[in-house]
Amino acid sequence: MQLRSVLFDFDGVIADTEPRYADFFRAELSGTGMDVEEFVRSVRGTPLKRMMEIWFKDWDEARRQALVERQVDFELHGMRYDYVPGARELLDSLKARGIAMALVTSSHKRKMAVALKVMGLEGFFDTVVTAEDITRGKPDPMCYLLAAERLGARREECIIFEDSLAGLTAARRAGIRGIGLSTSHSPEELAGYADEVIPDFTDTERVEGFLQGRG
């Protein structure tokens, strides 16, 4: 396989944000009667609109909208966007080698504009697919198929890095090799969804093996 394109999820893959989302929702949903830990585990990689439809369908519209606004405010003003270990080094290496890169996220454009600026990644990716670009979110493969199409790459020429079960399911349904990062789920949880599992990007030899079609 000649690798032409690498497709990255954002939260839990490029940015180490999942623990901060978990803390946000624990604070917001305490006392609601929801199983907050199950909620936190299940919604990773899920677009905000779909999350509201599935988990908050019994809330009235005003209450749902208030939660959405608090989450967006948190993402724009309260979130820390630190790199997953080894992520920046990998991105710079791929850029230097001329390998096309896509960022494929369930997040909205406003958040990504802030996050990419904070992380020094404005204009870095060859294409960015956000929630506004699709009509069906992960686990539907639409987002990854769109990214590959934008890059002009065939599925067998791509590889996906993901941390969520929904995202890895989307990768599999797209027919693209998916490497799972155990930043949000345990390696055991990811095993049935990912072609390979790594903790982060610090094992550069192993990551390079994936890029060369090995491992």
- Is the pLDDT at 1 greater than 70, yes or no? no
pTM (two decimals): 0.91
pLDDT digits (tens, 9 = 90+) for 76-88: 999 999 999 999 9
Task: Measure the CA–CA gap between 104 and 143, rounded to whole angstroms.
Answer: 7
- Percent of the chain, pLDDT > 70? 99
pLDDT digits (tens, 9 = 90+) for 37-51: 888 888 877 777 888
Question: Per CATH, which fold does 5-16+81-211 belong to?
Answer: Rossmann fold (3.40.50)
Q: What is the pLDDT at residue 52?
A: 86
Task: Measure the CA–CA gap between 128 and 8, rounded to whole angstroms.
Answer: 10
pLDDT digits (tens, 9 = 90+) for 135-161: 998 999 999 999 999 999 999 999 999
Q: What is the pLDDT at residue 49?
A: 80
Residue 182 or 31, more confident: 182
Give the helix ranges, DSSP H, for 59-203.
61-73, 87-96, 109-118, 142-151, 165-174, 187-190
Task: Measure the CA–CA gap between 165 and 72, rounded to whole angstroms.
Answer: 23
Give the residue extent of every domain in the chain: 5-16+81-211, 18-78
Q: What is the pLDDT at residue 47?
A: 75
Do residues 45 and 162 make contact, with C-beta atoms less than 8 angstroms apart?
A: yes
**How confident is the prediction for the chain on average, in pLDDT?**
93
Residue type for position 121: L
- Is the pLDDT at 122 greater than 70, yes or no? yes
